[in-house]
């Protein structure tokens, strides 16, 4: 079975275009309420990022949930990982985040969490979609859901973030630039680091409903690089619009991406495990796009590494299935299941800075144990979707490319899940060879799509 509305991370699209309309969202709230309130009652937590359309969709969700007889807890603009945490601690049946994450302001969407703070299962998502096909009804007036606002949500989440590092951690003496992307973390992220006694310079903290992720944040860290260098700061932290991903910048102004962040945290966890019980940590999970340098750096230290398809959902599924705790993507989605239940940009940054303090080393030194391999990504457009992977010519070209790179590189062909593209990725130690092989392979793929 395939889902009509749910993608790999909830529901997302252009505001005003199906299904991201007020009419649909009213029924979505009702459907979620019907699925979660089979035995009557219950409560659902609603948070949002700073997009202007969030006001409209918050009201629509609230009306739909109330019509299904479900109470609503409103927390206003809050990071996605905060909703996961608050859903669990406030004993709600589910949490809903109104956000399109790193997308521009004219997109919006909905992410969902279970009562345990995890993403909803496929079974629950299918149940919700089945309800959406049914006629909208309203419970008896005496059974309508009530709404209340949670006034201390920000303070609760700030304390939680601080609790994920050792209690005596102190960032005094560090100057940190924090870029909140004019998004959901604008009022909590600077406070977390400031309460740990760091000197904080905050940017991207003036949301107007239209400027979320605009030339700032984790998807556009150039602004953060400038601020770190110009203010002679020790490091910078860039979050995306809903706060579930992070990119960092060292004192030199160099970007520290998700692979390097994951390496630093994995190394720290491994050192702790060996010190406490003489064991290694479990396998670290990345994706097919994770840099080969990460894999080599970890395995050199005896830390196993596994890859899954792109998407934090796939990482989470493997971590839970295997009982492992650490995984992440190059984009900055880092999952520390020994600290929280979902990807959390602030929590991930805290793990790195705590390790800086513990080791007495700067961020540049911590990441230096991993050497990133040059990577070339070529997007080959398709006029129509064809299975180029089954082409004998393409298969032979891939094999030839792999033989050229030998053990010092890798090749990946991947169909885009959102655009009519084939992504050709080549990675290896020799940058000139990597770009040559990638472009040669892209040409073969393009020609194969014409036949």
Q: Are 309 and 287 in contact (CB under 8 A)?
A: yes
Short-list 327, 324, 322, CA closest to 310: 327
Rounded Cα gap, residues 228 and 234, in angstroms: 7
DSSP-assigned letter for residue 233: -
Rounded Cα gap, residues 140 and 418, in angstroms: 42
Q: Are 383 and 449 in contact (CB under 8 A)?
A: yes
Q: Active-site residues: which are they? A: 101
Rounded Cα gap, residues 175 and 353, in angstroms: 11
169's CB contacts (< 8 A; 6+ apart) are: 196, 354, 357
Strands 71-77 and 43-48: parallel
Rounded Cα gap, residues 447 and 411, in angstroms: 18
How many C-alpha atoms does 450 have within 13 Å on its Cβ side? Answer: 7
Burial group, residue 280, by CB count within 10 angstroms (0-12, 13-18, 19+)? middle
Backbone phi and psi for residue 238, each to the nearest 5 degrees, phi listed first: -115, 125
The per-residue b/e assignment along 90-128, b for 16 or more CB within 10 angstroms, e otherwise, is bebbbbbbbbbbbbebebbbbbbbbbebbbbeeebbbbb
Short-list 299, 283, 296, 375, CA closest to 330: 375
């Amino acid at each position: 079975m395939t889902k009509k509305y749910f993608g790999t991370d909830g529901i997302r699209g252009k505001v005003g275009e199906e299904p991201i309309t007020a009419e649909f969202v009213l029924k979505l709230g009702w459907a979620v309420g019907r699925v979660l309130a089979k035995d009557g009652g219950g409560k659902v937590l609603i948070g949002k990022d700073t997009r202007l359309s969030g006001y409209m969709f918050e009201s629509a969700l609230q009306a739909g949930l109330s019509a299904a007889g479900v109470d609503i807890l409103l927390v206003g603009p809050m990071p996605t990982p905060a909703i996961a945490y608050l859903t669990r601690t406030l004993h709600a049946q589910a949490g809903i985040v109104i956000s399109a994450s790193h997308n521009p302001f004219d997109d919006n969407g909905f992410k969902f969490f279970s009562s345990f703070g995890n993403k909803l299962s496929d079974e629950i998502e299918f149940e919700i979609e089945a309800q959406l096909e049914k006629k909208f009804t309203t419970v008896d007036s005496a059974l309508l859901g009530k709404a209340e606002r949670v006034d201390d949500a920000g303070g609760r989440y700030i304390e939680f973030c601080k609790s994920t590092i050792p209690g005596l951690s102190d960032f005094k003496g560090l100057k940190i630039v924090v870029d909140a992307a004019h998004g959901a973390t604008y009022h909590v992220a600077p406070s977390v680091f400031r309460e740990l006694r760091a000197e904080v310079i905050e940017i991207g903290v003036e949301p107007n409903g239209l400027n979320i992720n605009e030339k700032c944040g984790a998807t556009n860290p150039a602004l953060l690089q400038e601020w770190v260098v110009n203010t002679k700061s020790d490091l910078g932290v860039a979050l995306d619009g809903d706060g579930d991903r992070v990119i960092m910048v060292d004192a030199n102004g160099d970007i520290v991406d998700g692979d390097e962040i994951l390496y630093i945290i994995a190394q720290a966890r491994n050192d702790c495990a060996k010190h406490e019980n003489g064991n290694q940590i479990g396998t670290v999970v990345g994706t097919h796009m994770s840099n080969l340098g990460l894999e080599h750096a970890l395995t050199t230290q005896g830390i196993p590494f596994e890859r899954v398809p792109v998407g934090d959902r796939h990482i989470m599924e493997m971590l839970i299935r295997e009982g492992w705790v650490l995984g992440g993507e190059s984009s900055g989605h880092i999952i520390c299941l020994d600290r929280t239940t979902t990807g959390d940009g602030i929590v991930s940054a805290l793990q790195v800075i705590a390790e800086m303090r513990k080791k007495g080393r700067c961020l540049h030194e911590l990441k230096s144990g991993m050497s990133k391999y040059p990577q070339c990504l070529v997007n080959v457009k398709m006029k129509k979707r064809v299975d180029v992977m089954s082409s004998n010519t393409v298969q032979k070209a891939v094999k030839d490319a792999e033989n050229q790179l030998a053990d010092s590189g890798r090749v990946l062909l991947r169909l885009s899940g959102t655009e009519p593209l084939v992504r050709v990725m080549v990675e290896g130690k020799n940058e000139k060879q990597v770009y040559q092989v990638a472009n040669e392979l892209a040409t073969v793929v393009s020609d194969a799509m014409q036949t």
